[in-house]
Structure 1
Amino acid sequence: MEETSLRNRREDERSVQSIQSKEPKTTSLQKEVGLLSGICIIVGTIIGSGIFISPKSVLSNTEAVGPCLIIWAACGVLATLGCKPPPVVVKCLAAAAILLITTVNSLSVRLGSYVQNVFTAAKLVIVAIIILSGLVLLAQGNTRNFENSFEGTKLSVGAISLAFYNGLWAYDGWNQLNYITEELRNPFRNLPLAIIIGIPLVTGCYILMNVSYFTVMTPTELLQSQAVAVTFGDRVLYPASWVVPLFVAFSTIGAANGTCFTAGRLVYVAGREGHMLKVLSYISVKRLTPAPAIIFYGIIATIYIIPGDINSLVNYFSFAAWLFYGLTILGLVVMRFTKKDLERPIKVPIFIPIMVTLISVFLVVAPIISEPALEYLYCVLFMLSGLIFYFLFVHYKFGWAQKISKPVTMYLQMLMEVVPPEEAPEERAQPLGATSKPR
């Protein structure tokens, strides 16, 4: 009986499904095009007669194979940009930019300097365009967004700290000159002078740029904008608004290149002083650049892309940065009392490092208490993972760890043709292509 009833139930279900399948579909377009069909539509539509005819015209205009191929690749990129790219594509593009910058700085100090000079000039151009446009609009009476400027203000400790995170992200780089004091002429004079002149200059530009933004955008419109400078260009510089995203990209690449140049030196010195693996202090025999340190920094920068969007990245970076800034300046305060006899070519009043230390504590602790987020946990775990490598391979130098690090160091030295810094002059005197004995 049970088998008969089960059989009857299944037959009833089949009959119901048969009836449902015969019901007419609604008179609307159906979602029946899958991923494969979509790809086939794009590929099939694009590939027509053009690829069989256009190569002649492209080559006739470029007159060489190399530029011809570059044009074809650039056209593909341009065609892709007509759709909003998924996050993974954006991250891959960022990783590619980091790879390019790392390669440039590993190959040549002079090439890295040229790149920095070009992109710095480009960013100054766009800054000047935005400021001058804003001042013109302000002189024309566009001041309505500055009326009742403090109306509706709602401040909290967490909101202030996160606002500082994003603001200080824009100012990050104020300490980068400290990393290349060995390559700075008369550092005891030029280092403080560069800071005193450079940071107020940037501060003035930033304030004027924000004023320019508010001449054409209300606070609500600015909050809704995905890229404030691009929105400003669309409203003020049309039809030349395309220059804004181009120069913003130049500015970003220039900042990344400068950071790679300076932070790579920080890693290099850390390796030389025994705080990191010695291979990070090696110098390229042919290029005379700290290639291992720069490549290591490029890898770390690429890892920073993984967490999420730009806001998560800002919070992630700022938390780690100000934690270490605070610890560094706290060390300065402690040494003021424990190392009183040390020579201090550059000395500041004690209240300045104490104040900055307290501000660093606020910036690190306040966001965690007011608005806890996973980015801070990821950041702590990332830093603790560094301690594991430090104690295993640098501090205690366990036997099994040395069995791993020594062959790795040897292969890296042969692959990148790098030597310890004290051997670089000797190796430069050898014939081209000669390398040192791996250590």
Structure 2
Amino acid sequence: MDTGSKMEERRTNKRKKSKNGSAKLDGDSTVMDKDSAKATVLQKEVGLLSGVCLIVGTMIGSGIFISPKAVLLNTGDVGPCLLIWAACGVLTILGALCYAELGTMIPKSGGEYSYLLEAFGSPVAYLYSWTTVMVVKPSAFAIITLSFAEYASAPFYPECSPPMVVTKCLAAAAIVFIVTINCFSVKLASYVQNIFTGAKLIIMVIIVGAGIVLLAQGNTKNLSNAFDSQSLSAGGIGLAFYNGLWAYDGWSQLNFITEELKNPYRNLPLAILIAIPLVSVCYVMVNIAYFTVMTPTELLSSPAVAVTFGNKVLHPMSWIVPLFVVFSTFGSANGSCFTAGRLAYVSGREGHMVKILSFISLRRLTPAPALMLNGFLAMLYIIPADINTLINYFSFAQWVFNGLTLSSLIVMRFTRKELKRPVKVPIIIAFLMVLISCYLVLAPIIDNPEVEYLYSSLFIFSGLLLYYPFVHLKVKWARNLMRPITVHLQLLMEVVPPDKCEL
């Protein structure tokens, strides 16, 4: 064959590839040419600033505007309340340092899931992914969007609380909008996170600044005799920690996207060390600011603590507070959605969830199916709309697995000595955090046993009923049933499996 014929053949083959598309379906898998395969990987597009903004933006959400009431209710007085907030900050920093070691030792996305899989094997990791993907992450998403909806709709109902149907519909609209942003572009989701993190830091500065001015003017009456109450109990302290730590939730979010983080060995621990102390100081100062203008009784009776503070202090400019709280909760919801999709994506990639969850949008390079599942489940969880109940049982399940994850750090110090550890914390910190996790799980149950804790535990272990036949045995009829469903969803959403290259 002459040179001209060879060139013509290459042009013909190229036109055929272009016509047929970059990927072709083959059963429940996708066969791609080399160039296309390179494209179907989550990209390293999150730098240090975006990492800090993700942690700060996810932590500062609805919690600091909701949890002060619950923490005060369970502690009974101002002094223990402020101590709980400070203690939550210390616990968060210690826990985050342990997670920094785990994240730099096992640089995979998925957060706790990847560490539990490495330390304890497939069954424990599956139970975590089952509980977190199906309940913990979407319920957190639902809680935050409900808070967003309550603050966003409040100005339209100045004389009464917004109707529940309005709040739920607005929360559902926020879920759809946020999921759409995250499915469209990783960079766009990061930009949104950065912008709204800046907005929430502004409202923190306004509240803290006003509190400092009021303290300087001598408004310290509510802070005197702060330890008069004798109503503390072990269970009450546990529930106070639940609600306080709910406000701090988000400190481990960067571990869920390690594969998308630029230079994770440097940026992961550095982002943690910048973000979490910043948030801890802000939270304590914000609570002190609240008590400069509100008595404990006034704070407990307030439907929206931050808004009440704004009405008492900012007067004609009081509209600033609910506006920035809306920005804050929206940014937190965006961060929650961003990381939740990565957990479902990684567990699907490991075979612990249906395969379609591990697929990536061919055009957008985002884990679209995983993000959509999280949004769909969150829509279901906004139906009950009981935020305090959701927080308590969310925290129970979360701290069960936090304790196991911190235990994995101890276990792998002995079983995986060969792993590189760019960050290495004193093992006594890990032991301390495991003991605290056990307390946070057991104290509320012992002090006030409720059947809902049993339901939560049964739900966690019910995952084994699915794990044994579908993951361990890999029954053929289930795979045959899922194959046509996967193919049709793949065509509908234009998604393909991720590249199989080494991380």
TM-score band (shorter)? Answer: 0.7 to 0.9
Aligned to 1:319: 396
After TM superposition, the structure 1 stretch with the greater mean CA deviation from structure 2, 326-335 or 341-350, is 341-350
Q: 1:180 aligns with which of 249, 257, 273?
A: 257
1:411 Cα deviation from its structure 2 partner: 1.5
Give 3-state SS (helix, strand or coil) of 1:341's partner. coil
Aligned to 1:409: 486
Q: C-alpha deviations, 1:261-312, integer Å up to 9, x for none?
A: 1221222122222232221111001111010111122233334434442111
Tell whether the 8 Å contact from 1:393 to 1:405 is kept in structure 2 after alignment: no
Aligned to 2:235: 158
Distance 1:259 1:148, change over 3 A: same
CA distance in 1, matches of 2:408, 2:484: 36
Distance 1:389 1:89, change over 3 A: farther
Distance 1:364 1:302, change over 3 A: farther
Aligned to 1:422: 499
Unaligned stretches of 5+ residues in structure 2: 1-152
CA distance in 2, matches of 1:380, 1:392: 21
Q: C-alpha deviations, 1:124-148, integer Å up to 9, x for none?
A: 1111110111111111110111111
CA distance in 2, matches of 1:225, 1:253: 22
1:358 Cα deviation from its structure 2 partner: 1.1
RMSD between superposed Cα atoms in Å: 2.2
1:349 Cα deviation from its structure 2 partner: 1.3
Distance 1:304 1:349, change over 3 A: farther
Unaligned stretches of 5+ residues in structure 1: 1-75, 425-439
Aligned to 2:60: none
CA distance in 1, matches of 2:477, 2:265: 44
Tell whether the 8 Å contact from 1:392 to 1:401 is kept in structure 2 after alignment: no
In the TM superposition, what are the counterparts of 1:202-213 in structure 2 within 5 Å?
202-213=279-290
CA distance in 2, matches of 1:327, 1:416: 36
Aligned to 1:14: none
Question: What amino acid sits opposite 2:498 in the alignment?
Answer: P
Aligned to 2:315: 238
Q: 2:439 aligns with which of 348, 357, 362?
A: 362
Tell whether the 8 Å contact from 1:134 to 1:211 is kept in structure 2 after alignment: yes
Distance 1:389 1:101, change over 3 A: farther
Question: What amino acid sits opposite 1:349 in the alignment?
Answer: P
Distance 1:94 1:393, change over 3 A: farther
- 1:300 aligns to 2:377 (yes or no): yes
In the TM superposition, what are the counterparts of 1:113-128 in structure 2 within 5 Å?
113-128=190-205
- 1:271 aligns to 2:360 (yes or no): no
- 1:145 aligns to 2:222 (yes or no): yes
Question: What amino acid sits opposite 2:269 in the alignment?
Answer: P
- 1:310 aligns to 2:387 (yes or no): yes
CA distance in 2, matches of 1:204, 1:111: 29
CA distance in 2, matches of 1:110, 1:234: 37
Aligned to 1:102: 179
CA distance in 2, matches of 1:341, 1:117: 37
1:95 Cα deviation from its structure 2 partner: 2.6
Tell whether the 8 Å contact from 2:490 to 2:496 is kept in structure 1 after alignment: yes
Tell whether the 8 Å contact from 1:179 to 1:262 is kept in structure 2 after alignment: yes
Q: 2:457 aligns with which of 380, 393, 411?
A: 380
Give 3-state SS (helix, strand or coil) of 2:241's partner. helix
Distance 1:140 1:81, change over 3 A: closer
Instruction: Give me the TM-score of the superposition, normalised by structure 2.
Output: 0.66
Tell whether the 8 Å contact from 1:307 to 1:375 is kept in structure 2 after alignment: no
1:423 Cα deviation from its structure 2 partner: 8.1
Distance 1:81 1:297, change over 3 A: farther
Aligned to 1:254: 331
Q: Count the aligned residue pairs.
A: 349
Distance 1:78 1:122, change over 3 A: same
Of all paired residues, the percent bearing the same amino acid is 64
Give 3-state SS (helix, strand or coil) of 1:150's partner. coil
1:155 Cα deviation from its structure 2 partner: 1.2
Question: What amino acid sits opposite 1:162 in the alignment?
Answer: L
1:87 Cα deviation from its structure 2 partner: 3.3
After TM superposition, the structure 1 stretch with the greater mean CA deviation from structure 2, 399-408 or 104-113, is 399-408
Give 3-state SS (helix, strand or coil) of 1:287's partner. coil
After TM superposition, the structure 1 stretch with the greater mean CA deviation from structure 2, 264-273 or 214-223, is 264-273
Which structure has the larger Rg? 1
- 1:225 aligns to 2:302 (yes or no): yes
1:81 Cα deviation from its structure 2 partner: 7.2
After TM superposition, the structure 1 stretch with the greater mean CA deviation from structure 2, 412-421 or 305-314, is 305-314
1:79 Cα deviation from its structure 2 partner: 5.6
1:331 Cα deviation from its structure 2 partner: 1.8
1:237 Cα deviation from its structure 2 partner: 1.0
Question: What amino acid sits opposite 2:263 in the alignment?
Answer: N
CA distance in 1, matches of 2:236, 2:154: 39
Tell whether the 8 Å contact from 1:312 to 1:375 is kept in structure 2 after alignment: no
Tell whether the 8 Å contact from 1:277 to 1:394 is kept in structure 2 after alignment: no
Distance 1:378 1:99, change over 3 A: farther
Distance 1:87 1:122, change over 3 A: same
CA distance in 2, matches of 1:308, 1:323: 24
Distance 1:389 1:169, change over 3 A: same
Aligned to 1:168: 245
CA distance in 1, matches of 2:490, 2:158: 41
Moved over 6 A (4+): none
Aligned to 1:329: 406
Aligned to 1:215: 292
Q: 2:189 aligns with which of 99, 112, 116?
A: 112
Aligned to 1:6: none
Question: What amino acid sits opposite 2:471 in the alignment?
Answer: V
1:414 Cα deviation from its structure 2 partner: 1.0
Q: C-alpha deviations, 1:20-73, integer Å up to 9, x for none?
A: xxxxxxxxxxxxxxxxxxxxxxxxxxxxxxxxxxxxxxxxxxxxxxxxxxxxxx
1:93 Cα deviation from its structure 2 partner: 2.6
Aligned to 2:366: 289
Tell whether the 8 Å contact from 2:154 to 2:162 is kept in structure 1 after alignment: no
Distance 1:383 1:96, change over 3 A: farther
After TM superposition, the structure 1 stretch with the greater mean CA deviation from structure 2, 367-376 or 105-114, is 367-376
Distance 1:218 1:78, change over 3 A: closer
Distance 1:417 1:391, change over 3 A: farther
CA distance in 1, matches of 2:351, 2:277: 36
Tell whether the 8 Å contact from 1:116 to 1:257 is kept in structure 2 after alignment: yes
